[in-house]
Amino acid sequence: MDKFHEHLANYQAQIKKDVEKRLAFIREQIDGPGLNGVVVGISGGIDSAVTAALCVRALGRERVIGVWMPAYSQPVHEADAKQLAEAIGLNLVTVDVGPAFDALVPAIQSVLPLDDKTKGNTKARLRMTVLYAVANQKGCLVADTCNRSEVYVGYMTKGGDGLADFNPVESLTKHEMRILAKELGIPDSIITKAPSADLWEGQTDEQEMGFTYEDLDRLLITGETRPEAMERIEYLHRISEHKRNLMPGI
């Protein structure tokens, strides 16, 4: 067994202890300041599923609001969001951000054209606007769903899914998230689905990043990966430093 798979096997062996640690962390963030609960953006993907499941276990169903925010989203993601809610007992509501997107993008494009990536990032920022509106109204915090792999290469939208109040999964790589998802009873369709931010039709994480999650996770866990992937990963890590730090000032 190589170092990568040995690490994952060790994580599997300690999974119950890790779950308890994360549940305690969530309770500390919410119960410590005396807040009402948590709002989680639900994408139909594994990261938001794991985050929501942890929050429901930590706080109970009545204190967690999952928000599905379609914007011309693929039907498979909506189906998985609903399946997740049934599996973990999540209070799931829907806010369609498509109309807001349709109104905002033409207004911006009257000034300059937007490519698919920028339009996708605009969707992510509209979704975060919804989450904070719900959180403000309900006296809750917004839970971040970005994992360690995504954070390292900046694969999140600044002001979008990269913005939140606390993160109960930030130390977990994508492969560890899959192990945890099974422990938490996340549906297999979510665990095995190709990761996607649902920013445009056919978009997948690995296609956009230019390497696989195994390439990335091997580097994070063992310090080694394919040379061609290493170059791309470190480039993305370098140019995304501003996403991981508080803004500089003078």
Q: Could you give all domains of the chain from N- to C-terminal order, each with its CATH number?
A: 3-193 (3.40.50.620)
CA-to-CA distance for 232 and 209, rounded, in angstroms?
Answer: 8
Q: Are 75 and 174 in contact (CB under 8 A)?
A: no
46 is in an annotated binding site: yes
* pLDDT computed for residue 56 by the predictor: 98
Question: What's the burial of 137, exposed, middle or buried (CB within 10 Å: 0-12/13-18/19+)?
Answer: exposed
- Give bridge partners of residue 40 from the DSSP assignment: 66
Q: How high is the mean pLDDT in each 10-residue block of the chain (250 residues)? A: 95 98 98 97 96 98 98 92 97 98 98 95 97 98 97 96 97 98 97 76 79 96 96 96 94
- Give bridge partners of residue 94 from the DSSP assignment: 68
20 residue type, one letter: E
* pLDDT computed for residue 8 by the predictor: 98
47 is in an annotated binding site: yes
What is the set of active-site residues? Answer: 47, 150
* pLDDT computed for residue 202 by the predictor: 67
165's tokens: 């109040």
Of 111, 180, 139, nearest to 39 by C-alpha is 139
Q: Are 186 and 84 in contact (CB under 8 A)?
A: yes
Q: Which residue has the tokens 């011309």?
A: 72
Paired sense of beta strands 91-94 and 140-142, if any: unpaired
89 is in an annotated binding site: no
* pLDDT computed for residue 198 by the predictor: 65
Residue 35's region, left for phi above 0, alpha for psi from -120 to 50, else beta, is: beta
208 is in an annotated binding site: no
37 is in an annotated binding site: no
